[in-house]
Amino acid sequence: MNLILNSLPGFAEALSTTERRFVGKDAPDQVRPFLSLWGRTEQTRLVCLPEIASELGLARVLIKDEGQRLGQGSFKSLGGAYALMVLFKQLLESHLNQKVQVPQLLSPTARDFARSVTVCCATDGNHGKSVAAGARLLGCRSVIFIHAGVSQTRAEAIGASEIVRVDGNYDQSVREAERVAAERGWLLVSDTSWPGYEEIPAIVGQGYTILAEEALRQTGEQGHGNPTHVFLQAGVGGFASSIAGYLAERLGRENLKVVIVEPDLAACLFESARAGELVSVTPTEPTIMAMLECYQPSLIAWRILEKLSSGFMTVTEQQAKQAVRRLADRVEEPIVAGESGAAGLAGLAAAASDGDMRAALGLSSDSRVLLINTETATDPASYTDIVGRAPAEVAAGRAENASA
pLDDT digits (tens, 9 = 90+) for 97-149: 999 999 999 999 999 999 999 999 999 878 898 999 999 999 999 999 999 88
Integer-rounded Cα Rg, in Å, for the chain is: 20
Residues 267 and 363 in one domain: yes
Q: How far apart are CA 102 and CA 35, in angstroms?
A: 10
Residues 255 and 384 in one domain: yes
Q: Is 394 left (phi over 0), alpha (psi -120 to 50) or beta?
A: alpha
Q: How far apart are CA 172 and CA 178, in angstroms?
A: 10
Catalytic entry in 64, 65, 89, 124 = 124
Which residues constitute the domain of residue 49? Answer: 3-75+208-403
**Model-level pTM?**
0.93
Exposed / middle / buried, residue 231 (Cβ in 10 Å: 0-12, 13-18, 19+): buried
Mean pLDDT of 179-199: 94
Which spans in 294-342 are helix H? 299-308, 317-328
Residues 124 and 239 in one domain: no
Q: How far apart are CA 357 and CA 196, in angstroms?
A: 38
Residues 21 and 132 in one domain: no
The whole-number pLDDT of residue 391 equals 95
CA 251 to chain centre: 20
Cβ–Cβ under 8 Å, residues 60 and 53:
yes
Question: Do the domain assignments include residue 217?
Answer: yes
Cβ–Cβ under 8 Å, residues 143 and 164:
yes
Backbone angles phi, psi at 197, to 5 degrees: -135, 90
β-strand partners of 144: 121, 163
Percent of the chain with pLDDT over 90: 83
Where are the strands (E) in 6-139, listed by range? 46-48, 60-65, 118-123
Catalytic entry in 64, 65, 76, 307 = 76
What angle do the packed helices 80-96 and 199-221 form, to 10 degrees?
A: 130
Q: How many other CB atoms sit within 10 Å of the CB of residue 152?
A: 10
Q: Is 143 left (phi over 0), alpha (psi -120 to 50) or beta?
A: beta
| Number of domains within the chain | 2
Amino acid type, 25: K
Residues 103 and 69 in one domain: no
β-strand partners of 231: 259
Residues 89 and 127 in one domain: yes
Mean pLDDT of 226-236: 97
Question: Do the domain assignments include residue 246?
Answer: yes
The helix/strand/coil state of 86 is helix
9-54, pLDDT tens digit by residue? 999 899 999 999 999 999 999 999 998 898 777 899 999 999 999 9
Question: Do the domain assignments include residue 198?
Answer: no
The helix/strand/coil state of 226 is coil
Q: How far apart are CA 67 and CA 369, in angstroms?
A: 19
Q: How far apart are CA 404 and CA 391, in angstroms?
A: 20
Residues 275 and 295 in one domain: yes
Cβ–Cβ under 8 Å, residues 199 and 260:
no
Q: How far apart are CA 98 and CA 94, in angstroms?
A: 7
Mean pLDDT of 217-242: 96
Q: How many other CB atoms sit within 10 Å of the CB of residue 67?
A: 23
CATH number at residue 181: 3.40.50.1100
Question: Do the domain assignments include residue 196?
Answer: no
Does residue 76 have an active-site annotation? Answer: yes
Q: How far apart are CA 356 and CA 30, in angstroms?
A: 41
Residues 291 and 369 in one domain: yes
309-338, pLDDT tens digit by residue? 999 999 999 999 999 999 999 998 999 999
Does residue 191 have an active-site annotation? Answer: no
CA 174 to chain centre: 17
DSSP state of 3: E
In the chain, DSSP finds a helix count (H) and a strand count (E) of 17, 11
The whole-number pLDDT of residue 70 equals 85
